[in-house]
Amino acid sequence: MATSPNHRETTPLLHARGWQARFSRPFAVYAILPLIVTLVIVLSIYVSLRPSSTITQSSPHFSPLPINSFDRSLPPFLVAKHKIPPKLIDRRKFPQAIPTNSFWSNLLVGDSHGLNAGAGEITLSPYTVRNLPQRVEISYGDSRRAVTNVSISEVFQMDVGITGFRNVMTQKDQAVTSQDIRHATSREILAFDALSVTVQYGFDVMQSVSTDSPPLLPPSVYMNATLSRGAPYLTVMYHEVVPVVEFNGTIVSLNGQQVKESSNPTQWTGRKFVVQVLVYGATNGLLVPQKWIIYFERTRTLSLVSLKKISQFPPYHADGSLTTPTQARLIDSSVYSGVVRVALVANDAMEAVLDQYAHIYPKSSNLNISAHENKSYVQFSWEIDSFEPISTKNQKVNSTSDLLLMANPHQLMTFSEVHISSNVFQVFDIETGYRTLKSNMTAVVGKTWVLEENLTDIGFGSHQDIQLESIPLHKEAIRESLYNDSKFVPQAQDPYFFGKEVNRQAKLALIANTLGERSVRDDILDQLQVWMTTWLTGSNSDPFVYDTIWGGICSKNGLNGIFWMTDFGNGWYNDHHFHYGYYLNTLAIILKFRPLYFKQHEAAILSLVRDIANPEQNDPYFPFTRHFSWFDGHSFASGVYTLDGGKSQESVSEAINAYYGVYLLGLALNMTSLRVMGQVLLGMESRAAQVYWQMPSWSTIYEPEYAANKMSGQIACTKVQYSTWFGPKPEHMHLINMIPFTPASNLFLKRRYIAEEYQVLLDQALRRPNYSVEELWKGYAILALALLDPSAAWDQLQQIQTFDDGNSRTSSLYWIAVQKP
């Protein structure tokens, strides 16, 4: 039986059916304050994680437009409650909805057995961390980077642990176990924003029923770990706690002096402690050297306690809890209130840089989005604090804005030239040595970043119709196919497959309009309204419900299903942007021709937008841009569960399609803020597709062994794979990251890249001698060929008899016909 291109970010055990995306939700924003200056209209969107956030003077000269009139009402769907509430957070302390797909949301869930709450991996870049009940574990994955022709992975293993004791340890207490009562007794999320999260460890006795729950009362003795994206340091604020830094390796030297085994602890005094250590690498028996620096706000005396020689630890205790492998500890001699920062020295040249900027640290972040003419500007700004510099020898006196961070490749490509030329921002030209899954990181100094992208004007693609006019025979073939395909009636009952099928027909309405077939167009629009109304009003068999626990729209079956992947994980916030993106694209097409339909279903339509592309930071019903990770520059599809490798996404093209839907809805409704927000997300996701998913010969992101595939199937936080959730064949990896083919495809599928990629698709799939490519996939491969040779693609499509349920012969013919030869 033929299988349809289909994927999910969760399990390979799902049946392989349809492939198309569930994404994009337009969000209507009404407050538009046009600023007219000599015929120049400045259109701005302001998205802030804090109401006080503003564009700084170093930004381009325009004013942000606050989004202050967006619909923040309860969605018009039946109310339901998720079976598993978020962990480690007191909802009463946060007025906004809780993120489900953010970089840190593994803090909110347990593992697949319901154990180890909050212990899932959180990638900060350059480090990945785990928050165990009594410590923060830091892993520098590049020390265990494993590369093959089908995957690259950075294995998590604790290199350094940050913890503390409530009381000072005596000499006889040196060998205390991890279960000692001096350790933390509670954990909770203290604050979060788009670029950071702060976790508080409480040390008060009997303040919590378990370390999986927030404390009953605010602790008086605590440590706060601020997990900030791009920071080369991990920063912890202690309050009346004895700091403890643990190492899962053999300590070779401390402050340049060789460490010898001794039954008595060795003491060291200072504010900076340099630790040379040997840790396990990617291969059994391979030891890798690491150099870590510990910075203190004030002078401290630490005791080095060696626990055992380096050895392997089983990952779990008998009760299912995670082990905490520790070989040595540096323990403070007294309780401490102040900052501790821990950093890996990935390159010897970086030690002086780390010393220079160690005293300036981030506490939280703000995010602003603005647009001016055909440009968008995404501004990251950090709230910072500082202490006395570690050393002023041979270095300039730092400005209080000199925050040292690390940038990813896509960020380097988009730093605003205006901002770079200012005196408050600096990009270093030295090799930092920090490498993550997404290539080498670059050192940047400045508490404000401004990223610049072009705003697309592709619209519904009407400009492509000019090409269609040049070949009359193509028009007639498309017209004949249209009459047949327009009779299709969606059969799917779940949100994903229905979304694919209804959007299949919506695209036909646009084609019919282009061909001048107004009667066919109107017939299709009539049907689209009937089909969509059943979902918008909840009168279908698997209706939308609003989950009050996490804050989001889920399918009823997905939320209540016995199997957690019912409706492909919709109830667990998996792939919402893929699912709802088809709805938003379809609604945009309906509203382009019939705007009054919006008035009838305004609340439901805007709720779908808010679910996946909410611009509001304090919306009590939906989180801010649910799937989009602003530091990574792309979305993560996986929801409220943990995955090996962290948050993940395959089919970046479906994420692009989601934000294309947001953009189109803004066009159809003439809502400037909605349109621009869609353009911003669309532009950033499209860039990420080209930088991280596509691997042309000029890319240096991944090693050549893996890059030879030309397309990555999945990208997670610490793993990329040439595979998919639904199948291992090369056509799966390539084409799932191209579909659906729409006018937005031209933003990221460039002819120069396809010329290299298509050859791999030919060699590994289309010319495969043992088993042929299924027609459903072959139809999409032909659409990729159309970018290189439309004439050959047109001829090959004549042989295709079966199309995927999200595709049609008419749409395929039209796509080929509008490509330039």
Residue range 150-205, pLDDT digits in tens: 999 999 999 999 999 998 866 555 544 444 458 899 999 999 999 999 999 999 87
For 477, residues 6+ apart whose C-beta sits below 8 A from its C-beta are 813
Band (pLDDT 50/70/90 cuts) for residue 15 is very low
Band (pLDDT 50/70/90 cuts) for residue 213 is low
Q: Compute the average pLDDT of residues 72-86.
A: 93
The residue with greater pLDDT, 47 or 240, is 240
Q: CA separation (Å) from 102 to 150, 625, 632?
A: 27, 9, 11
Q: What is the number of other CB atoms lying within 10 angstroms of the CB of residue 68?
A: 13
Q: In this model, does residue 564 exceed pLDDT 50?
A: yes
How confident is the model over 287-334, as pLDDT tens digits? 999 999 999 999 999 999 876 544 444 565 555 556 666 789 999 999
Q: Which two structure tokens, joined as six digits, stand for 602? A: 């305004």
- Rounded to whole angstroms, the Cα distance separating 118 from 98 reads 15
Question: CA nearest 440: which of 432, 429, 448?
Answer: 432
Phi/psi at 451 (5° precision): -105, 135
Q: Is 161 buried (19+), middle (13-18) or exposed (0-12) by CB count in 10 A? A: buried
* Maximum mean pLDDT: which of 8-17, 108-117, 297-306: 297-306
Residue spans of alpha helices (H) in 42-187: none
Q: In this model, does residue 50 exceed pLDDT 70?
A: no
- What pLDDT is attached to residue 821? 84
The residue with greater pLDDT, 704 or 422, is 704
Side chain identity, residue 631: F
- Rounded to whole angstroms, the Cα distance separating 550 from 622 reads 8
Q: In this model, does residue 500 exceed pLDDT 70?
A: yes
Average per-residue pLDDT for the chain: 87
Share above pLDDT 70 across residues of the chain, in percent, rounded to a whole number? 83
How confident is the model over 389-433, as pLDDT tens digits? 997 664 555 566 799 999 999 999 999 988 887 778 999 988 999
- Rounded to whole angstroms, the Cα distance separating 480 from 471 reads 15
Q: Compute the average pLDDT of residues 491-512.
A: 97
The residue with greater pLDDT, 729 or 55, is 729
- Rounded to whole angstroms, the Cα distance separating 38 from 218 reads 56
- Rounded to whole angstroms, the Cα distance separating 221 from 164 reads 10
- What pLDDT is attached to residue 67? 43
Q: In this model, does residue 482 exceed pLDDT 90?
A: yes
Torsion of CA 705, 708, 712, 717, to 10 degrees: 30
- What pLDDT is attached to residue 645? 87
**Terminal CA-CA length for the chain:** 36
Q: What is the number of other CB atoms lying within 10 angstroms of the CB of residue 556?
A: 22
Q: Which two structure tokens, joined as six digits, stand for 455? A: 């705003």
How confident is the model over 745-804, as pLDDT tens digits? 999 999 999 999 999 999 999 999 988 999 999 999 999 999 999 999 999 999 999 999
- The answer to whether 311 touches 320, Cβ cutoff 8 Å, is no
Q: Which two structure tokens, joined as six digits, stand for 214? A: 């927030």
Q: Compute the average pLDDT of residues 249-258.
A: 92
Band (pLDDT 50/70/90 cuts) for residue 714 is very high
Give the H or E element holding residue 545.
strand 544-547
- The answer to whether 131 touches 199, Cβ cutoff 8 Å, is yes
CATH number for the segment(s) 126-346: 2.70.98
Q: Is 159 buried (19+), middle (13-18) or exposed (0-12) by CB count in 10 A? A: buried
Question: CA nearest 395: which of 355, 424, 368, 448?
Answer: 355
Residue spans of alpha helices (H) in 486-553: 495-514, 518-536
Domains of the chain, by residue range, sit at 126-346
Q: CA separation (Å) from 817 to 75, 787, 820?
A: 42, 11, 8
- Rounded to whole angstroms, the Cα distance separating 330 from 169 reads 12
- What pLDDT is attached to residue 798? 97
How confident is the model over 626-681, as pLDDT tens digits? 999 999 999 999 999 998 889 999 999 999 999 999 999 999 999 988 999 999 99
- What pLDDT is attached to residue 674? 92
Q: Compute the average pLDDT of residues 563-584.
A: 93
85: DSSP letter: P
Band (pLDDT 50/70/90 cuts) for residue 41 is very low
Q: Which two structure tokens, joined as six digits, stand for 656? A: 């692009």
Q: Compute the average pLDDT of residues 685-706.
A: 98
Residue spans of alpha helices (H) in 288-368: 350-357
- Rounded to whole angstroms, the Cα distance separating 272 from 282 reads 30
Give the H or E element holding residue 634.
strand 634-635
Instruction: Find the radius of gyration of the CA atoms of the chain.
Output: 27
- What pLDDT is attached to residue 584? 99
Q: pTM of the entire structure?
A: 0.90
- Rounded to whole angstroms, the Cα distance separating 328 from 306 reads 4
How many C-alpha atoms does 416 have within 13 Å on its Cβ side?
A: 24
- The answer to whether 661 touches 588, Cβ cutoff 8 Å, is yes
Q: What is the number of other CB atoms lying within 10 angstroms of the CB of residue 648?
A: 21
Give the H or E element holding residue 409.
helix 409-414
Q: In angstroms, how far is CA 310 from the centroid of its own chain?
A: 35
| SS3 state of residue 357 | helix
* Maximum mean pLDDT: which of 49-63, 722-736, 742-756: 742-756
Give the H or E element holding residue 719.
strand 719-721
- What pLDDT is attached to residue 419? 80
Q: What is the number of other CB atoms lying within 10 angstroms of the CB of residue 435?
A: 17
- What pLDDT is attached to residue 315? 60
Share above pLDDT 90 across residues of the chain, in percent, rounded to a whole number? 73
Q: CA separation (Å) from 325 to 145, 317, 331, 510?
A: 20, 11, 16, 60
Q: What is the number of other CB atoms lying within 10 angstroms of the CB of residue 112?
A: 11
Question: CA nearest 25: which of 578, 633, 535, 679?
Answer: 578
Lowest mean pLDDT among 36-45, 241-250, 594-603: 36-45
Q: Which two structure tokens, joined as six digits, stand for 786? A: 């159309």
